[in-house]
Amino acid sequence: MTRLSVNINKIALLRNARGSNFPNLVQVAQDCERFGAEGITVHPRPDERHIKYQDVYDLKPIVSTEFNIEGYPDARFLEMVLAVRPHQCTLVPDPPGVLTSNAGWDTLTHKMFLADVIAQLHAHNIRVSLFIETNEAMIEGAKEVATDRIEFYTGPYAEQYPHNPKAAVEPYKRSADFATQLGLGLNAGHDLNLMNLAYLKSHIANLQEVSIGHALITDALYYGLQNTIALYKKCLV
Residues labelled catalytic: 43, 70, 190
Give yes or no for a contact between 68 and 41, defined as CB atoms under 8 angstroms apart.
Answer: yes
What is the rounded distance in angstroms from the CA atom of residue 80 to the CA atom of residue 74?
Answer: 10
Give yes or no for a contact between 82 and 70, defined as CB atoms under 8 angstroms apart.
Answer: no
| Chain centre distance of CA 170 | 21
Q: Return phi, psi of residue 103, to 5°.
A: -165, 155
What is the rounded distance in angstroms from the CA atom of residue 115 to the CA atom of residue 119?
Answer: 6
Task: Return the bridge partners of 150, or none.
Answer: 130, 186
What is the rounded distance in angstroms from the CA atom of residue 103 to the CA atom of residue 170?
Answer: 18
Would you tell me the crossing angle of helices 25-34 and 225-235 to the nearest 10 degrees?
A: 50
Task: Determine which helix (DSSP H) or strand (DSSP E) holds 90, and give its type and residue range.
Answer: strand 88-91
Amino acid letter, residue 146: A
